[in-house]
Structure 1
Amino acid sequence: MKINQMKCSRSLLMFLVAMGSLTGLSAQVGIMKMDTVSSKDTLHHISRGWVLYSDFSAIGDGKIDDLGAIVATHAFANRHGLTVKADKGAVYYIGGKNITAEVQTNTDFGDASFIIDDTDVENRNRAVFSINSTQKPLPLHNISLLRKEQGKIDVSLPVSCIVTVTDANIKRYIRYGPNQNSGSSQTDIFIVDKEGNVDKNTPIIWDFDQITEINYLPIDETVLTISGGLFTTVANRAESKYTYYSRGMNIRRSNVVIDGLEHHVTGEGETGAPYGGFININNCANVIVRNTILTGHKTYQTIGSADVPVSMGSYDVSVNRALNVTFENCSQTNDIHDRTYWGIIGSNYCKNLLYDNCTFSRFDAHMGVANATIRNSTLGHQGINAIGSGVFILENSTIHSRNLINLRSDYGSTWEGEFIIRDCIFVPTGLGSGNVTLIGGANSGQHDFGYTCYMPERITIENLRIKDANHPEKYIGAAIFADFNGQMKDDNYVEKFPYIITKEIILRKIKTDSGKPVRISDNVYMFRNVQTPTE
């Protein structure tokens, strides 16, 4: 429907506000953008089954701010269960208004472009799009404790749900190093069915002797699809400090597919605040991001909490408190080996993360992931950084980094579970130093991270090629483990917080281009009891 044919009633907008489809400033802008819509035109939209942004006064010339019209379009679509379509070839300019388009129906951005201007914003934390569930979280009653790996909770629920639980009396992930902190409240997220059976793929990972908050959120049963769209963020030019910008697309609904989206970044200058993710996935399950192209952000420096200079993490994707999240056939616009750009993704409190056929600069799990898989992928200069539990599978992939897998030392280099590595190629970027390690990390045993720290109990490495041909003369071969504690050279060293060492490494078909065999570690004493059967 053409703009000059648009006749939308103010009473309809007020009705949407009353129904909760528009709230706050989003409601005000929606009302302002919509004139009068006749009943005839409303019926036309409904019978057609979809609406265009131009139906609600979007111009699409790349100059006039269209965010208000976009907000109004989605509000109307949400109310009537209609698909939203971008106008073919349109260029939508999105300025710094403190409003969000709430998306609850399928959306096809097609070949349209969206320019998100972050140079002058009213609220740097306000997403442009938020893909929301129609369900609301509700408190769970009569549950006073939970146990690690508990198989069932005593509840009866309407459908399968996500359960989130917190004990604010216990602190975990007490970070060490330049960005040190006092930790975060113990938290967990898992799926239960109607009878309260815990999904075995999202196990409870902590004991909860006290519960300060516990809620459930029904899982949306239908799949919502967001497709297409070329998005360009005009980067902020703020002071370089930890004032994160998150003006992108939030996913707050389960069973969502993002397909064919492309995100670019332009205008990065001498200073800039970091980004918390153009795609931000939070408090949901079963999300697939496929055929999507993303962009790494320029790395800026600031002073960390330990009063020393630090590089600030800046992400195009953030995944927090999310379950069963897959990235499939995804890549990034900039060189995955360019160290001037930060790694593409960061995550916390997740379970079952998967990269499949992705080319990214990094995989990262900050405050823990339970089960992760990387397959058919290529990772760049920041490689694989993780702590967590369960099974980490790395297969049929090429890793260009200092370590094949790095266990993050700022969180204790902990993985309570197993590593399975097979059919991979490792291209060590630290070869020039003569120091090549497969499993990196550090733990002095002197810092309380809020939990017992483990190395993987078993590590299986099968059919691995290490490209270490162009090595310096002093090179003596790749080590399986880094020197995790350079002070632990004999039994006189006492750990205040013992670090539980790997029990067994199984090696099959390890090939080095240098011809030098792999060895256990520069710290032979620390790993003296590790069993290393080879084939």
Structure 2
Amino acid sequence: MFLSNRNFVFTCLLTCFTLITSSVAVLGQSQTPPDKVAITSSDGPTRVQVGENGVLQINVAPKDARAIQKRGWVRYADFGARGDGKTDDIDAIAGAHAYANAQGLPVKADAGATYYIGPKDRTAVIRTDTDFGTANFIIDDTEVQNRNAAVFLVSSMLQPFKLTGITSLKRNQAIIEAALPGPCLITVTDSHVKRYIRFGLNQNNGASQTDIFMVDKAGRVDMNAPIIWDFDQITDISALPIDEKLLTITGGRFTTIANQAESKYTYYNRNLTIKRSNVVVDGLQHRITGEGEHGAPYGGFLNIGDCAYVTVRNTVLTGHKVYNTIGAAGKPVSMGTYDISANRALNVSFINCSQTNDINDRAYWGIMGSNFCKNMVYDRCVFSRFDAHMGVANATIRNSTLGHMGINAIGSGTLTVENSTIRGGTLVNLRSDYGSTWQGEFVIRNCVFVPSGGRSVSASLIGGSYAGDHDFGYTCYMPERIRIENLRIEDGNHPDNYAGPAIFANFNPKLKDETYQEKFPYVKTKEVILRNVTTASGKPLRTSENPFMFKDVKVDVN
């Protein structure tokens, strides 16, 4: 039944004021102003207007409200969207979602419509199932008012709250003492400890030690995504209740008209941001047009953070053109720019996804970047890259093909690569800017490795670099155990002096004998297990170009 005018206004004011935040600090996204909506019902026409301080003022005529309730879903046209590809429809789109959120109704875009989204600082907040269908959405980034404002924000009605009484945590701790309303995501920070102190052209002073993990109502930690640091002191800890009902977003053909800004680290985040747990994105497409000689980078059209259980499937995305700038070290650097980003997220899966441009075209940056995530999965994906900047705990790549940027990661737990083809510079690259560290194991089975996409190179399976003279904020490890089964190395194209593929790249050319001392010692791999590894060159697998560095590694060959 339709609410009375007074109660309806109160309900909407209570539920529709949303603070849009982002955890993608590393990619440049920051807080944006609150998205505010006030809904009334009077005998005037149904309309969306922009009031004082940018507040959307929505009036829904009672007869229109009854018609929408009878239909069972909300259309953008109900709130004035033209869908003609020329009129800026973002206010109508945001108004439609605000009303749908208040009434608990799904939203459906009109089939074949083209919704133009111009420069306004406006975000449509999604809290109900949304079917974009075959509609087109043109997102014009050429002259935006706020490059940090998401176009769509998938948000929860549940609010985070501070936890009290917890003063410390231990790595792999199994339970926390807290009164919780149900399953929660726990985010904890110790600002006195710095981790991920980046080395190289994009050097920085690191990030405060942080972690995100899941607990049930009794405070039991999900040990599939365990606590990865000791917190001897805690400067901030909060709990976010997890939405248990699945929210689905289907369809949609999105095209971004790329920004023409100066090429520097001013990230654009005009995107679909997901900050709600238990979400499925199915059948979305995103393309990019208008990339020129210069432009600012993007923080991800799909931007997933502070949530758990997000699945993206049957989705087509697009790699962004690479632009250069001057990095923190005062030297030219290629800027990372992404169509996918995931930050502080657990159990994120990409299933049967691909990209529009050639995964081997080096003019386009690797499509994904992530930080502080756990249990990430690629399954049946064709992408240019998998990447974990500031750590991933457990990752799986299966039934997939990865292009010119391959697998780049640091982290912990188990990295599993199976039934996949990898066309990067190495089979797995341990990112040297974060210490080439992986505290755990690699399991690689039933794969094909095409070194550098088939270019003439000396192949190495595990890449990275570690000089031992930089403090990354943690002890750096190589995988304790590497197990490789049924690997075909397509190294038929190689230099004349090629001695055969190496298990390990030359991580430190200076470490030739006992006289070289690492200030910050590197914990080397203990064991490599090889079963049925074959090469197109016919040359046998060797340990490394630097045998001294890996002299204590046990290599078990079938």
How would you bin the TM-score normalised by the shorter chain?
over 0.9
2:178 is equivalent to residue 155 of structure 1: yes
Corresponding position: 1:482 with 2:505: yes
Query: Does residue 532 of the first structure (1) align with residue 542 of the second (2)?
Result: no
1:183-207: CA deviations, max 9, x gaps? 0000000000011100011100000
Partner of 2:241: 218
CA separation of 1:370 and 1:398: change in aligned 2, threshold 3 A: same
Range with greater deviation from structure 2 (155-164 or 208-217): 155-164
Contact 2:423 2:453 in 1 (8 A): no
Contact 2:504 2:544 survives alignment (8 Å): yes
Measured in 1, the distance between the counterparts of 2:121 and 2:382 equals: 34
Q: CA deviation at 1:17?
A: 5.1
Q: 1:21 aligns with which of 13, 16, 26?
A: 16
**Which residue, out of 231, 252, 265, partners 1:229?**
252
State which of 493, 504, 508 in structure 1 corresponds to 2:531: 508
Give the 3-state SS of the residue equivalent to 2:428 in structure 1. Answer: strand
**Structure 1 position 309 matched with structure 2 position 332:** yes
Q: State the shift of 1:429 in Å.
A: 1.5
Distance between the aligned counterparts of 2:271 and 2:94, measured in 1?
A: 14
Matches within 5 A, 1:63-462: 63-429=86-452, 432-462=455-485
8 Å CA contact 1:14–1:31 kept in 2: the answer is no
> In 1, distance between residues paired with 2:321 and 2:7?
44
Matched letter for residue 43 of structure 1: R
Partner amino acid, structure 2, of 1:444:
A
Secondary structure, aligned partner of 1:169: strand
Output one character per residue of 1:409-448: Cα deviation in whole Å (capped at 9) or x when no partner: 0000000000000000000117655421000001011100
8 Å contact kept, 1:387–1:414? yes
Pairwise CA RMSD of aligned residues?
Answer: 1.7
Q: What is the TM-score normalised by the length of structure 2?
A: 0.92
Structure 1 counterpart SS, 2:237: strand
Residues 230 and 263 in structure 1, CA contact (< 8 A), matched pair in contact too: yes
- 1:236/1:362 CA distance change after superposition, 3 Å: same
- Structure 1: give runs of 5+ residues left out of the alignment: 1-8
Does the C-alpha gap of structure 1 residues 500 and 40 become closer, same or farther in structure 2, counting only changes over 3 Å? same
Gaps of 5+ in 2: 19-33, 39-46, 51-55
Give the secondary structure class of the aligned counterpart of 2:342: strand
* Residue 50 to residue 38, structure 1, CA distance change in 2 (3 Å): same
Q: Are the structure 2 counterparts of residues 39 and 164 from structure 1 closer, same or farther at C-alpha, using a change threshold of 3 Å?
A: same
Matched, 1:37 2:60: yes
Residue in structure 1 matched with residue 26 of structure 2 by the alignment: none
Aligned to 1:47, which of 64, 70, 75?
A: 70
What is the one-letter code of the residue matched to 2:402? L
TM-superposed deviation, 1:469: 1.4
CA offset digits 1:203-256 (Å, max 9, x no partner): 000000010000000000100000000000000000000000000100000000
What code does the residue aligned with 1:356 have?
Answer: D
Secondary structure of 2:554's counterpart equals coil
Instruction: Say if 2:148 and 2:269, in contact at 8 Å, map to a contact too.
Output: yes
Distance 2:112 2:364 in 1: 30
Query: TM-score, length-normalised on structure 1?
Result: 0.96
Q: Find the aligned partners of 2:481 and 2:83 in 1 and give their Cα distance.
A: 56
Instruction: State the 1:15 CA deviation.
Output: 4.5
For residues 471-514 of structure 1, give each alpha carbon's deviation from its aligned partner in whole angstroms, at most 9, with x where no partner exists. Answer: 23211100000011111011111111000000000000001011
Shift in alpha-carbon separation, 1:286–1:174, aligned structure 2, 3 A: same
Deviation at 1:26, TM superposition (A): 4.6
1:135 is aligned with what amino acid? L
| Alpha-carbon distance in structure 1 between the residues aligned to 2:377 and 2:35 | 37
Residue 157 of structure 1, CA deviation: 1.1
SS at structure 2 position matched to 1:279: strand
Count the aligned residue pairs. Answer: 528
Alignment-mate amino acid for residue 82 of structure 2: I
Give the distance between the partners of 1:103 and 1:318, measured in 2 at CA. 19
Q: Deviations over 1:95-119 (max 9, x none)?
A: 0111100000000000000000000
CA contact (8 A) 2:324 2:335 kept: yes
Q: Which residue does 1:4 correspond to in 2?
A: none
1:3 aligns with: none
Deviates most, 429-438 or 165-174? 429-438
The amino acid of 2:96's aligned partner reads T
Paired amino acid for 1:221: E
Deviation at 1:156, TM superposition (A): 2.5
- 1:12 and 1:181 map into 2 onto residues whose CA distance is 51
Structure 2 CA distance for aligned equivalents of residues 119 and 460 of structure 1: 49
Distance (Å, rounded) in 2 between the aligned partners of 1:83 and 1:305: 46
Structure 2 counterpart of 1:5: none
Worse overlay, 266-275 or 37-46:
37-46
Check the 8 A contact 1:174/1:180 in 2, yes or no: yes
Name the SS for the 1:533 alignment partner. Answer: strand
Are 2:160 and 2:240, in contact at CA under 8 Å, matched by a contact in 1? yes
AA of the residue aligned to 2:506: D
Give distance in 2, aligned partners of 1:263 and 1:415: 33
- Residue in 1 that maps onto 2:521: 498
Question: 1:13 Cα deviation (Å)?
Answer: 8.4
- Contact 2:458–2:495 (CA<8 Å) still a contact in 1? no
> How far apart, in 1, do the equivalents of 2:15 and 2:543 lie?
61
1:210, 1:250 → 2: CA distance? 31
Are the equivalent residues in 2 in contact too, given 1:13–1:30 (CA < 8 A)? no
> Contact 1:16–1:22 (CA<8 Å) still a contact in 2?
no
Instruction: Tell me the alpha carbon deviations over residues 446-478 of structure 1, each in whole angstroms, 9 at most, x when there is no partner.
Output: 100000000000000000000011223211100
> Equivalents in 2 of 1:392, 1:472: separation in Å?
30
The residue type paired with residue 325 of structure 1 is V
